[in-house]
């Protein structure tokens, strides 16, 4: 293949003026296409329909790897709560405060501790329980911070496709457009969804506290705010049995939601800053010094791919380390040292690996 | 420059056998260098000494932009605390609990609220104060989450260079090696530093509570744990005047430190996963389908830069969107449509922009 391309290259160079010979013209066209219009194949519309679907598939399989599957998160949580409940159930006489039902109180105490709400309506009252509570709050924080929040993020991303489909129902977007819309405004959608979810949780919590715990509206709202922020002064808390059952689910969901919402806001900030950096890099004038620095294969010309790599480095998306590592790998694969990879190179490289 | 390179290319193709003519040989050598050994200039050792220093400079100037300068963070904090103190000082009769000194209590209440520790030793006791507390806890959370934690991260990164220098004092590392070491183990160092700092803060807090607040050791440790995790049951808290002055500084520092530590642990996890993905991508065999997909300029050969871009996409470090955007920019700059950028292209592109 390499020699074929070289031939057409040669033909192009040797025949700089238009030719009537059909064969030469067609050869030359191949060459010109590669030299003058490397971007023709990369118009966003065309590329997205094929490559983005591929990249989605790859992203999803990658996604499954990095995100702990939801089952795993649930198992961790149940395991943590089970151990917590058993521990605190056995020392329930060493916990003082407003007690209702043994098992329920233990679960409730676990949730209030692991989410760091810490009302103080139930408080450890002996040295072992105090140390147990210390151990539980640290492990609970780590569990929420490292696992549950990722589970929440995973759920939100899954919902996002549905949301975008629903929002653009009238326009009947194809899968490509949905992907594009999702790619561009991903974090924004996440923020809005989480905010909507938070508002629902706040309303549900307030209504519950007013109806079941018989608090007045301001106190209920105050208790809701104090809970979801994990402030937990403890002057208002869940004191009925029904309230504590509700609290177990509601506290866990709402504290994670607020934390995740803040994460998304921070992500949105970073993204906006990244976007303005990209804009700056794109509009900045290239100088000769830039050209020289961008020239990876040192042929005194900067090809499309070299330009892309140089600008990506400038945007801070990749580092020189990434590039060096891959160039080394390229050198290993490029067995015939032609400076380009061909099918032939791959076969040689793989047979060489087999022999080793 | 483009024509010059084409000439040497032509010379190389026309003279495939070794020549004695000195001029032709030298021309051919230029060509061969570009075609057969594009990686010679990119051996890690050589590249790092020049490019990494450059990239550091760029990273630092970028750094100054994204990280709110420390002064800004301090101004936000002082502003928040000043407003908080004034507000809560005016409604101090509507706060019930263990009161000491008007202004001190207000600042202490602000800190306990904004960090979401919420001991409950001071509690709002009227509708306006309750709503005020709700507003303050949300803004305090946002302030800590979005600003202070970034300030902390900035400080840690600044310290890191000093730490690495100190650790390798006997080996006398040059700036390049320090940069390399920092680049590779950045997050790990951050984790260790934050952990060490946390241990110091825990010890200081415990000693203080034992000596000044006269708690026994277990209670002191329990109060420390309950505070830094923002649990704040409130059965043990800072009740003396000296304790509250200490608490103002200690609570703010220690809660931010623990949160930041968890962030670093999560970052380390992500980095490890990213590293194993990179390893997977590097060891995966290239197929013909990959070759075809990697070929940006469609010349049926995959150059070094094209290979790098393809693998970076596979690693998830860049997206097709990034590449498309930059290819479009490349097309704009490549005025003579040669498929490569030269000084001539840049001059033409810039004069064209001037005319527009």
What pLDDT is attached to residue B259?
87
List chain B residues with CB under 8 Å of A51. Answer: 293, 320
Q: Lowest-confidence range among A10-14, A26-30, A191-195? A: A26-30
Chain A CB contacts of B10 under 8 Å are: 13
Tell whether A2 lies on the interface with B, counting CB pairs under 8 A: yes
In this predicted structure, the answer to whether residue A287 has a pLDDT above a threshold of 70 is yes
* Between A25 and A55, the higher pLDDT residue: A55
Give the pLDDT of residue B151: 75
Binary contact (A343, B291; C-beta < 8 A): yes
φ/ψ region of B285 (left if φ > 0, alpha if ψ in -120 to 50, else beta) reads: beta
User: Residue A19 sits in which domain range?
Assistant: 1-31
Structure tokens at A177: 């457009």
Answer whether residue B304 is part of any domain. Answer: yes
Please indicate, yes or no, if residue A27 is contained in any of the structural domains: yes
Instruction: Let me know whether A86 and A111 are in one domain.
Output: yes
Q: What is the pLDDT of residue A173?
A: 64
For chain B, what is the largest distance between any 2 Cα atoms, rounded to a whole number of angstroms?
A: 100
More confident residue, B167 or A85: A85
How far A13 CA lies from chain B's nearest CA (Å)?
8
Q: pLDDT below 70 — which residues of chain B?
A: 1-69, 169-174, 182-183, 352-356
In a domain, B234, yes or no: yes
Q: Is residue B70 domain-shared with residue B171, that is, in the same domain?
A: yes
Nearest CA in chain A to B27: A299
**Distance of alpha carbon A271 from alpha carbon A269, whole angstroms:** 5
Q: pLDDT averaged over chain A?
A: 76
Taking the C-alpha atoms of residue B3 and residue A137, their distance in angstroms, rounded to an integer, is 70
- How many whole angstroms separate alpha carbon B120 and alpha carbon B134? 14
The pLDDT of residue A24 is 36
- Provide the angle, in degrees to the nearest 10, between the axes of the packed helices B102-114 and B70-90: 120
Q: Does A55 touch chain B (CB under 8 A)?
A: yes
**Euclidean distance between CA atoms B189 and B163, whole angstroms:** 9
User: What is the pLDDT at residue A101?
Assistant: 83
Does the structure show a pLDDT above 80 at A230? yes
Question: Do both A298 and A258 map to the same domain?
Answer: no
Looking at the predicted structure, is the pLDDT value of residue A209 above 50? yes
Q: How confident is the model at residue A3 (pLDDT cuts 50, 70, 90)?
A: very low
**What is the distance, to the nearest Å, from the Cα of residue B320 to the centroid of all Cα atoms in its chain?**
23
Of the candidates A141, A253, A100, the one whose C-alpha atom is nearest the C-alpha of residue B226 is A141
Instruction: Work out the average pLDDT over A100-126.
Output: 90
- Tell me how far apart the alpha carbons of residues B145 and B152 are, in angstroms, rounded to a whole number: 11
Is there a single domain that holds both residue B19 and residue B82? no
Which of B262, B293, B314 lies at the terminal end of a domain, its last residue? B262
What is the model's pLDDT at position A172?
64
Among A250, A277, A304, the domain-final residue is A277
Tell me whether strands A95-97 and A122-124 are parallel, antiparallel or unpaired: antiparallel
Mean pLDDT of A164-171: 70
What whole-number distance in Å separates Cα of residue A101 and Cα of residue A114?
A: 20
Q: Within this chain, do residues B257 and B302 fall inside the same structural domain, yes or no?
A: no
Provide the pLDDT for residue B17.
Answer: 38
Given B299, B304, B327, which is nearest A297 (Cβ)? Answer: B304
The average pLDDT across A221-246 equals 91
Residue in B120, B226, B339 closest to A233 by CB:
B120
Q: Are residues A181 and A90 in the same domain?
A: yes
Hey, which residues 257-316 in chain B have their CB within 8 Å of chain A?
258, 262, 265-266, 269-270, 273, 277-278, 282, 285-288, 291, 293-294, 296-309, 311-316
Question: What does the alpha-carbon distance between residue B118 and residue B52 come to, in Å, rounded to a whole number?
Answer: 47
Among A13, A123, A314, select the one facing B10 at the smallest CB separation: A13
Q: Report CB contact under 8 Å: A339, B38.
A: yes
Decide which of A166 and B266 is more confident.
Answer: B266
- Averaged pLDDT for residues A46-63: 43
Which chain B residue has its CA at the smallest distance from A283's CA? B329
Count CA within 13 A, CB hemisphere, residue A291: 21
Tell me whether residues A124 and B337 touch, CB distance under 8 A.
Answer: no
Query: Which one is predicted more confidently, B3 or A334?
Result: A334
When CB atoms are compared, the residue of A37, A297, A320 closest to B55 is A320
Give the Cα separation of B132 and B197 in Å (integer): 33
Helix (H) or strand (E) holding A97: strand A95-97
Q: What is the pLDDT of residues A177-199, one digit of tens each?
A: 777 776 677 888 888 889 999 99
My answer on whether A104 and A232 are in the same domain is yes
Cβ neighbours around A271 below 10 Å, total: 14
Report the alpha-carbon distance of residue A317 to residue A304 in Å, rounded.
18
User: Could you give the CA distance from residue A129 to residue A110 in angstroms, rounded to a whole number?
Assistant: 12
CA A185 to chain centre: 13
Beta bridge partners of A96: A123
CB A38 within 8 A of CB B297: yes
Q: Is B95 helix (H, G, I), strand (E, B) or coil?
A: strand
Query: For the residues A338-343, what does the mean pLDDT come to?
Result: 79
ipTM for the whole predicted complex goes beyond 0.90: no
Q: Which of A2-11, A254-263, A278-287 has the highest mean predicted lDDT (pLDDT)? A: A254-263
Cα B254 versus chain centre, distance: 21
In angstroms, the CA B196 to CA B201 distance is 9
Residues in a beta bridge with B123: B96
Q: What was the pLDDT predicted at B65?
A: 46
What six digits make up the tokens of B58?
């760029």
State the CATH number of the domain containing residue A150. 1.10.287.70
Q: Chain centroid to CA A191: how far?
A: 13
Nearest CA in chain A to B344: A288
- The whole-angstrom distance between A12's CA and the closest CA on chain B is 11
**What is the pLDDT, as a whole number, of residue A353?**
63
Residue where one domain finishes, among candidates B210, B229, B262: B262
In this structure, are A291 and A270 located in the same domain?
no
Tokens of B287: 């197929």
* Average confidence (pLDDT) over A294-317: 82
State how far the Cα of A245 lies from the Cα of A208, in Å rounded to an integer: 12
Position A63 in a domain = no
Q: Is B58 on the interface with A (CB under 8 A)?
A: yes
Task: With beta carbons under 8 A apart, name residues in chain B contacting A52.
Answer: 320
Residue numbers of B between 69 and 108 with CB closer than 8 Å to A: none
Is the distance from CB of B204 to CB of B250 less than 8 angstroms?
yes
Residue B258: which of A79, A127, A140 has the closest Cα?
A: A140
Residue B49 within any structural domain of the chain: no
Name the more confident of A150 and A307.
Answer: A307
What pLDDT, on a 0 to 100 scale, did the predictor assign at position B69? 63
B301 touches B295 (CB < 8 A): yes
Q: How high is the pLDDT of residue B173?
A: 64
What's the angle, vertex CA A301, arms to CA A296 and CA A302, rounded to 5? 60
pLDDT of residue A15: 40
CA distance A204 to chain B (A): 17
Rounded distance, CA B148 to CA B73, Å? 6
Within 8 A of B286 by CB-CB distance, chain A residues are 333, 341, 346
Position B353 in a domain: no
What is the rounded CA–CA span in Å between residue A237 and residue A273?
41
Count of the separate structural domains present in chain B: 3
Rg (CA), chain B: 30
Q: Is residue A353 in some structural domain?
A: no
Nearest to A182 by CA among A196, A206, A164: A164
The reported pLDDT for the residue numbered A327 is 85
Q: Between B55, B137, B339, which is nearest A36 by CB?
A: B339
> What per-residue string of b and e applies to B83-101 under the rule 16 or more CB within 10 Å gives b?
ebbebbeebbeebebeebe
Same domain? For A173 and A203 the reply is: yes
What is the largest distance, in Å, between two alpha-carbon atoms of chain A?
100
Report the C-alpha gap between B3 and B336 in whole angstroms: 12
Round to whole Å and give the CA distance between A189 and A278.
Answer: 21
A36 pLDDT more than 50: no
Q: What is the mean pLDDT of residues A71-79?
A: 85
Same domain, B69 and B207: yes
Answer yes or no: is A251 within a domain.
yes
pLDDT tens for each residue of B98-149: 888 888 999 999 999 999 999 999 999 899 999 999 999 999 888 887 777 7
Q: Are residues B252 and B292 both part of a single domain? A: no
Determine the residue of chain A that is closest to B261 in CA distance: A142
Same domain, A150 and A6: no
From chain A, the residues in CB contact with B219 under 8 A are 130
- A279 — pLDDT class (breaks 50, 70, 90): confident
């Amino acid at each position: 293949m390499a020699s074929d391309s070289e031939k057409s290259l040669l033909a192009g160079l040797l025949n700089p003026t238009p030719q009537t010979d059909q064969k030469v013209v067609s050869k030359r066209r191949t060459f010109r296409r590669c030299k003058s219009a490397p971007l023709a194949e990369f118009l966003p519309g065309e590329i997205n329909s094929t490559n983005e679907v591929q990249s989605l598939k790859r992203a999803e399989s990658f996604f499954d790897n990095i995100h702990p599957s939801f089952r795993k998160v649930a198992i961790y949580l149940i395991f943590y709560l089970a151990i917590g409940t058993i521990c605190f159930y056995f020392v329930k006489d060493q916990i003082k405060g407003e007690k209702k039902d043994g098992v329920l109180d233990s679960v409730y105490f676990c949730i209030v501790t692991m989410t760091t709400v810490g009302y103080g309506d139930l408080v450890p009252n002996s040295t072992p329980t105090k140390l147990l509570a210390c151990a539980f709050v640290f492990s609970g924080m780590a569990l929420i911070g490292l696992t549950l929040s990722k589970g929440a993020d995973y759920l939100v991303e899954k919902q996002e496709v549905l949301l975008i489909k629903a929002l653009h129902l009238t326009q009947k977007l194809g899968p490509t457009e949905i992907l594009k819309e999702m790619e561009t405004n991903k974090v924004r959608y996440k923020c809005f969804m989480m905010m909507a979810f938070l508002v629902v949780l706040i309303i549900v919590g307030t209504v519950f506290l007013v109806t079941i715990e018989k608090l007045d509206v301001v106190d209920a709202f105050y208790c809701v705010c104090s809970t979801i922020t994990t402030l937990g002064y403890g002057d208002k808390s869940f004191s009925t049995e029904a309230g504590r059952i509700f609290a177990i689910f509601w506290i866990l969901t709402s504290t994670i939601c607020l934390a995740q919402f803040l994460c998304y806001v921070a992500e949105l900030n970073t993204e906006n800053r990244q976007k303005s950096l990209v804009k700056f890099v794109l509009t900045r004038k290239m100088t000769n010094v830039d050209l020289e620095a961008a020239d990876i294969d040192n042929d005194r010309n900067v090809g499309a791919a070299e330009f892309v790599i140089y600008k990506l480095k400038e945007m801070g998306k990749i580092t020189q380390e990434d590039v060096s590592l891959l160039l080394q790998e390229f050198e290993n694969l490029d067995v015939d040292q032609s400076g380009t990879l061909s099918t032939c190179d791959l076969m040689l490289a793989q047979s060489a690996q087999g022999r080793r």
